[in-house]
Chain A
Amino acid sequence: MKKLYILLLALCFANFSYAQQTPADKQSQAISIEGATAHLGNGEVIENALIMFENGKLTFVGSANAKIARKGTVIDAKGKHVYPGFIAPNSTLGLVEVDAVRASDDDDEVGTMNPHVRSIIAYNTESKVVESMRPNGVLMAQITPRGGRISGTSSIVQLDAWNWEDAVIKQDDGIHLNWPRTYSRGRWWLGEPNVLKENKDYAKEVEELNHFFAQSKAYLASNKSPKNLPFEALQGLTEGSKKLFIHVDNEKGITDAINFANTQNIKNIVIVGGYEANNVSDLLKQHNIPVLLQRVHSRPNGDDHDYDLPYKLATQLVNSGVLVGLENAGDMERMNTRNLPFLAGTTVAYGLSKEQALSLITLNTAKILGIDNTVGSLEVGKDATLFISEGDALDMRTNKLSKAYIQGRDISLETHQTELYKRYSAKYKQ
């Protein structure tokens, strides 16, 4: 009986108490990784590379043939691959734990114009879903609220921290705007046909946005009294210190969104989604607007569309010179975010080179989010946020991490799931 009790206790412990791996300590000594193939994230590959980092920063990235002293712990990584940590933009990681459990759901606030709502304070570093990203190389994410016309303000975090404050890479990096839909669905439950029809309120909804932004501009130029929280939150869009992420898929919407941003003097906008972005690639290039492209692993939007359209969108956009990153919003998006590398891998089968594909989840995303001065590629001076994989990390067969570092910290690759794996594997070996 006592034994059983202990076993039960152990079970509970394993199930719930190990909610998250303990965050790693600060890097205390230098680390040198030698002999691996280094994929820098900027398109370059170094075979037989030497990578060194100290105090959380990369100090050397080059050939192992270089006559230079190896510092600190030397890791022999011959035959292995080193990558910069992958970045998941437009993510709700840590905002919802279990989709069906309302109590665990913190991603969508009441209201339409919520720029003042900030995701960062709800980001749960203890999330079991968050820790499950790391064994696949996803080490950073932009935590983004959902819903409404303006969902709120996102922040960018790294995925190994005691609390949200420690997790921050860039706080309040951008505002997220869901562009009005040009289509609306028939109310089938009232007997209307279940089809998409032109949204008659589209122009009105766009006008509401213009009104809101114009009002906020006037407010921000005034003595700001009485205080208006939503308007306050838009501070920085004109100056460019904050980005405006416009979630929009279709050609008309993207075009209107760009015009809107110009009218409202918004300096940096990013198109998120972009199913039809390829149709307006010239416009995007002309205005230097990047795209965080919708989930690669999705179905075409129409029966007539090429079966592989979502797979090859990235190739089309990249080839026409647009800066592209990959995002993963949609059904079961949180747990699925760990498949980000495989979204990139799929674009290779449909036209990109492996290094181009890698950029879609590393340096390009860092540039789009405005964090490329510290992360996104393996370059001297940047954060040592990287990992070692047994093989090609964009292919699931070979995406097997042996080591991962965030800002030089040697993070745990264990998770709730690996604990269970070990426990039950052991059970059957008895």
Chain B
Amino acid sequence: MIKKWAILSLLLCSYFSFAQEYVPKNDGVKTNTSNYTAFTNAKIYVTPNQIIDNGTLLIKDGKVVSSGSAVSIPKNAVIIDVSGKTIYPSFIDIYTDFGIKKPSTPSGNSRSPQYDASREGYYWNDHIRPDQNAVDHFEFDSKKAEELRKAGFGVVTSHIDDGIIQGTGMLVTLAPEGSDATRLLDEKVGQFSGTSKSKTSRQAYPTSLMGTMALLRQVNHDAEWYAKGNIKEKDRALEAYLANKNVVQFFDAGKKVNALRFDKIGDQFGIQYVFVGGGDEYELINDIKATNATFILPLDFPDAYDMEDPLLAQSVSLEDLRAWNQSPSNPKVFADNNIPFALTTHQLKGAKELMPNLLKAIEYGLDKTKALEALTIVPASIIGKSSELGHLKSGAHANFLITSGDIFDKETTIYQNWITGVKDEIKPMHTKDIRGHYTFNLDNTNYNLEISGDEDKLKSKVKTEDKEYGSKLSYKDDWMQLTFATADSTKQEFIRVVSNIKDSNNLNGKAIYPNGTEVTFFATKQIKEEKEDVKKKDKKEDETPKIYPVTYPNMAYGMTTLPQQETLLFKNVTVWTNEKEGILENTDVLIKNGKIAKIGTNLTDGNAKVIDGKGKHLTSGIIDEHSHIATESVNEAGHNSTAEVTIEDVLDAEDVDIYRNLAGGVTSIQILHGSANPIGGRSAIIKLKWGEKAENLVYNNSPKFIKFALGENVKQSNWGDNARTRFPQTRMGVEQVFTDYFQRAKEYDALKKSGKPYRKDLELEVIAEILNKERFVSCHSYVQSEINMLMKVAEKYNFNINTFTHILEGYKVADKMVQHGVGGSTFSDWWAYKYEVNDAIPFNAPIMHNAGVLVAINSDDAEMSRRLNQEAAKSVKYGDISEEDAWKFVTLNPAKLLHIDDRVGSIKVGKDADVVLWSDHPLSIYAKAEKTIIEGKVYFDLERDAQLREAIKKEKNELTMLMLQAKNKGLKTKPIEKKEKELLHCDSIDHQF
């Protein structure tokens, strides 16, 4: 023991003298040494792929001097024999906030929203903080460091996990001795970004993911503009952002779709992010690969749910059950697809959870070499430290682990974690393993002794043939003490044994009887056969668990394979053409190559699948002009104009409401921004191609749209008493907001067209598109005064409003709408939910229609959108509209309003085959959509739906059983959770913001 201490202090001294030779010394004499330390007879992982079976690792001054099988050991080397042990490079975690205090929220009682930045001399948005440097906030956290060292880590990068752009990170060792002066390896290793706002500021913008994306783009444009010297004022944030350009850019995506989203932004500005994943990347692995990004993967695999209460258990969704089953395979899927990845403790409750989870990933097929790479050379290479970290080649930091064996074996012990040549003893290494079965004889009695348990917490059992005696054993520094009761248990007397272990097969020492008599003690280890059994059992558990297949999307009603284009021939069906032919009975429709190929009678096609349409109706698919399904954000509510944001950025292709809308005969929708501000964001016009990824849903050459809004929502009438500061608070102000932005956009556009340099403003770019008639406006509106106002403002700027959506008092100004040339997309019968809808009437659509306005009926509601056929039928009831015209309210007319009527909206040869087969008259309440087809692909089919229901039930049952088995095996479970998707409306705000 004394020897060990000597080595350690020697090492420390040498280390310190190396690091701080100019520091004055007043407590003794300088003790510089230039000794080496050699670790001999070890299995050494020089790199994950370069393994030396019996080698030497030679270190000096905190660095590896050499490693290999033929290392010559200098004379001034302290030799440590580590035969039988394995040496690995210490792990590296490049995504932590080690030593950084959690940022605190500003105090203060004000509940009214803050629109301006709190900081002066920085960017206009507080959540952009590239000027932050982790190193300025760092304080070595000994407790955390110990935890990380125990888990095998040697160095970490640390950053301030706060804000959208979070500034730079630092690289620091976890060495138990020394100071920041020796631990700090690099004070700038990358710039970090994420999707969450800074907790240190209450500045409202952005309130949504799409706002965050727009802001990030604008920052990049502004930085370029600043770099060119075009901004007179000092902006320390932009300056820092520019200065940080050349370091690695990390982005905390947190889920697969965000990696895809922010990769696109990166591409736009020549940034290749390193993404921190969310664990669900395996679901879209091809797209993930296409980002060309390196990933940092957390290992927080979900625990099984506690499924014992069936009433509660039924609430867990198939999606969540599958996530439990599939996500441990995420790292393997990365490896299989050759996507580089590092591993991190991020999202784990503690560093000690790393290994159990990693072992699980290995059980699910992750290659051990890949696992080791992901903890060593990959993270080192990401931060550009390949020469000095992640391996044990000459010149590298002497960061290494000494283990009892394969680091990825449950039974393996990490004895020591050396960091820059400083030893951290995690478990005593030279202790002999005394676990096993022994026999001994004392006082003519034969005893059995069984020693088991963790090496540092041994348990003992002392037995004779017919009796077990209470016993206690302790073992430290090769000294074992055993105390056990005598045969007469009433006496409470004990025999004590003490033994200094020389070799682990025999326990030699002395025993002391209750009366003080000392005798020699000698126990011999027995070799038992039963190990075989254990091995067999282990083997069974080693088999790769059953992994359920991924579907698209990976949830209930997902598709195992995406629907294929079919040639379909509908026979003898009633066809609602929406064209001058009107409603054709007993007609055939041929669908081919995704288009409507023929309409007629007695059609044939050799390759077509024939569908008997007798008694049924075939219509073009329903089009919802106003929807908020299939999106992660609805509103960017942080500013009164947010033209810079777009729903296309945040599409959610995995919203089950897509499927449910298909079941209601809907094929196309416009996903509108909400109504939180007069100038909202841009729309996404999509087809409900369930199973496809987000970008494939959007129309090719999609017409460009933006949402405007008027009335109570934009003046924040119903936002509570705190929302009284944002302009506008009255309808009068609303007009001025529009005038102001149009005027500025006009001036902006003029400057842009003049060829002079200009600051790229994403918001004004979009508004200028409106003025240039390249983008259409769909405006949320209720009362006649404001409807009239907006038409006048538009006319002043020489463009037309395309659509008034909701437009509940459209009937009062229908004549003016016709004059202006604007369409109306309205609710069938909603009213009385706000003061401004007091005069809303169900006769609105009929009156507007009769006055010559192009009218559509919309939903704004994920429930109603699946019954838009019924909503259209209400116009027959309330305004005696002909059935043919009423049907157009939800098909052809919205297609016209959205400028997609050249492709969809009617059954006409050459148009997209977006059609619905109805069981009954489509306007009837008794009608059901039996098949919903988009571009010749059947996306909803009543029969397939029935099969899917059965399949869902079966898979849920099987996964439930597996979870129950997991619990029985003693694995951790978590309480039941039920995720409920919120019904999004015009006024919905993102929850995470």
Contact residues of A with B, CB < 8 Å?
15, 97-101, 128-129, 182-183, 188, 193-198, 250-252, 297-304, 306-308, 331-332, 334-335, 338-339, 342, 345-346, 348-350, 394-400, 417-418, 420-421, 424-425, 428
- A99 interface neighbour in B317, B657, B832, Cβ under 8 Å: B832
- Which A residues lie within 8 Å of B952 (CB)? 304
Q: Write the nearest CB–CB distance from A335 to chain B, whole angstroms.
A: 4
Q: Write the nearest CB–CB distance from A259 to chain B, whole angstroms.
A: 14
Q: Pick the interface stretch among B172-180, B283-291, B461-469, B836-844.
A: B836-844
A129–B832 CB distance below 8 A = yes
A297 and B863 in contact (CB under 8 A), knowing A307-B660, A397-B873, A397-B883?
yes
- A198 interface neighbour in B717, B883, B975, Cβ under 8 Å: B975
A335–B873 CB distance below 8 A = no
6 pairs of A and B residues whose beta carbons are closest in the complex: A345-B925, A421-B843, A196-B978, A304-B556, A417-B841, A100-B834
A183 and B315 in contact (CB under 8 A), knowing A299-B863, A299-B983, A428-B851?
yes
A348–B925 CB distance below 8 A = yes
A99–B833 CB distance below 8 A = yes
- The residue of chain A having its C-beta at the shortest distance from the C-beta of B942 within the complex is A308
- Which A residues lie within 8 Å of B829 (CB)? 335, 338-339
A306–B949 CB distance below 8 A = yes
A303 and B555 in contact (CB under 8 A), knowing A198-B976, A396-B876, A420-B839?
yes
- B980 interface neighbour in A99, A301, A397, Cβ under 8 Å: A301
User: What DSSP secondary structure best describes chain A's contact surface?
Assistant: loop
B863–A196 CB distance below 8 A = no
- Which A residues lie within 8 Å of B811 (CB)? 420-421, 424
Cβ of B380 under 8 Å from chain A: no
B835–A302 CB distance below 8 A = no
A303–B833 CB distance below 8 A = no
Q: Mark B814-833, 1 if CB is under 8 A from A, else 0.
A: 11000000000000011111
Cβ of B397 under 8 Å from chain A: no
Q: Write the nearest CB–CB distance from A135 to chain B, whole angstroms.
A: 9
B832–A98 CB distance below 8 A = yes
- The residue of chain B having its C-beta at the shortest distance from the C-beta of A310 within the complex is B863
B657–A304 CB distance below 8 A = no
A425–B833 CB distance below 8 A = no
Cβ of B745 under 8 Å from chain A: no
Cβ of B319 under 8 Å from chain A: yes
- Which A residues lie within 8 Å of B491 (CB)? none
A331 and B982 CA atoms in complex are apart in Å by 13
Cβ of B501 under 8 Å from chain A: no
A-B contact pairs, 15 of them (CB 8 A): A98-B834, A98-B837, A101-B835, A182-B311, A198-B312, A198-B975, A250-B311, A251-B311, A252-B311, A304-B956, A335-B830, A335-B831, A349-B919, A395-B925, A420-B841
A308 and B928 CA atoms in complex are apart in Å by 10
Q: Write the nearest CB–CB distance from B864 to chain A, whole angstroms.
A: 8
- B718 interface neighbour in A100, A304, A339, Cβ under 8 Å: A100
Cβ of B318 under 8 Å from chain A: yes
A397 and B884 CA atoms in complex are apart in Å by 12
- A188 interface neighbour in B663, B834, B991, Cβ under 8 Å: B991
Cβ of B927 under 8 Å from chain A: yes
Q: Mark B170-214, 1 if CB is under 8 A from A, else 0.
A: 000000000000000000000000000000000000000000000
- Which A residues lie within 8 Å of B557 (CB)? 303
- Which B residues lie within 8 Å of A400 (CB)? 877
A395 and B318 in contact (CB under 8 A), knowing A197-B976, A299-B657, A299-B862?
no
A424–B812 CB distance below 8 A = yes
A397–B977 CB distance below 8 A = no
A46 and B883 CA atoms in complex are apart in Å by 29
A100–B712 CB distance below 8 A = yes
Cβ of B981 under 8 Å from chain A: yes
B835–A98 CB distance below 8 A = yes
- A397 interface neighbour in B876, B979, B991, Cβ under 8 Å: B876
- Which B residues lie within 8 Å of A194 (CB)? 979, 991
- Which A residues lie within 8 Å of B976 (CB)? 197-198
A334–B847 CB distance below 8 A = no
A87 and B831 CA atoms in complex are apart in Å by 21
- Which A residues lie within 8 Å of B863 (CB)? 297-299
Q: Write the nearest CB–CB distance from B288 to chain A, whole angstroms.
A: 23
Q: Write the nearest CB–CB distance from A227 to chain B, whole angstroms.
A: 39
A399 and B712 CA atoms in complex are apart in Å by 33
Q: Mark B652-667, 1 if CB is under 8 A from A, else 0.
A: 0000110110010000
Cβ of B923 under 8 Å from chain A: yes
Q: Write the nearest CB–CB distance from A81 to chain B, whole angstroms.
A: 14
A425–B978 CB distance below 8 A = no
- B830 interface neighbour in A97, A100, A332, Cβ under 8 Å: A332
CB within 8 Å of A: which B636-677 residues:
656-657, 659-660, 663
A312 and B55 CA atoms in complex are apart in Å by 73
Q: Write the nearest CB–CB distance from A371 to chain B, whole angstroms.
A: 27
- A348 interface neighbour in B312, B832, B870, B926, Cβ under 8 Å: B926
B311–A335 CB distance below 8 A = no
- B924 interface neighbour in A128, A250, A397, Cβ under 8 Å: A397
> Assuming A198-B976, A346-B925, what are 13 further A-B pairs, CB within 8 angstroms?
A98-B838, A128-B832, A196-B977, A302-B317, A303-B555, A303-B556, A342-B925, A345-B926, A349-B927, A396-B876, A397-B924, A425-B850, A428-B851
Q: Write the nearest CB–CB distance from A349 to chain B, whole angstroms.
A: 5
A306 and B811 CA atoms in complex are apart in Å by 39
A99 and B834 in contact (CB under 8 A), knowing A303-B556, A307-B945?
yes
A425 and B977 in contact (CB under 8 A), knowing A303-B317, A303-B319, A332-B830?
no
Q: Mark B872-894, 1 if CB is under 8 A from A, else 0.
A: 01101111000100000000000
- B978 interface neighbour in A183, A188, A298, A418, Cβ under 8 Å: A183
- The residue of chain B having its C-beta at the shortest distance from the C-beta of A335 within the complex is B832
- Which A residues lie within 8 Å of B843 (CB)? 417-418, 420-421, 425
A308 and B663 in contact (CB under 8 A), knowing A101-B835, A299-B983?
yes
Q: Write the nearest CB–CB distance from B697 to chain A, whole angstroms.
A: 18
A397–B718 CB distance below 8 A = no
B847–A421 CB distance below 8 A = yes
Q: Write the nearest CB–CB distance from B122 to chain A, whole angstroms.
A: 26
CB within 8 Å of A: which B917-958 residues:
919-920, 923-928, 945, 949, 952, 956
A424–B847 CB distance below 8 A = yes
Cβ of B806 under 8 Å from chain A: no
B867–A417 CB distance below 8 A = no
- Which A residues lie within 8 Å of B837 (CB)? 98
- B839 interface neighbour in A15, A100, A299, A332, Cβ under 8 Å: A15
- Which B residues lie within 8 Å of A332 (CB)? 830, 832-833
- A193 interface neighbour in B834, B878, B977, Cβ under 8 Å: B977
Q: Write the nearest CB–CB distance from A346 to chain B, whole angstroms.
A: 6
A324 and B952 CA atoms in complex are apart in Å by 29
A300 and B319 CA atoms in complex are apart in Å by 16
B814–A342 CB distance below 8 A = no
A252 and B310 CA atoms in complex are apart in Å by 10
- Which B residues lie within 8 Å of A250 (CB)? 311
B980–A182 CB distance below 8 A = no
A297 and B867 CA atoms in complex are apart in Å by 9
CB within 8 Å of A: which B601-643 residues:
none
A349 and B927 CA atoms in complex are apart in Å by 6
- The residue of chain B having its C-beta at the shortest distance from the C-beta of A186 within the complex is B977
A195 and B867 in contact (CB under 8 A), knowing A129-B832, A250-B311?
no
Q: Write the nearest CB–CB distance from A149 to chain B, whole angstroms.
A: 22
- Which A residues lie within 8 Å of B712 (CB)? 100
A97 and B977 in contact (CB under 8 A), knowing A395-B924, A397-B923, A420-B841?
no
A306 and B950 CA atoms in complex are apart in Å by 10
A417 and B842 in contact (CB under 8 A), knowing A302-B317, A348-B925, A424-B812?
yes
- Which A residues lie within 8 Å of B924 (CB)? 395, 397
Q: Write the nearest CB–CB distance from B543 to chain A, whole angstroms.
A: 29
- Which B residues lie within 8 Å of A303 (CB)? 317-319, 555-557, 656, 979, 981
A16 and B835 CA atoms in complex are apart in Å by 13
- Which B residues lie within 8 Å of A342 (CB)? 870, 925
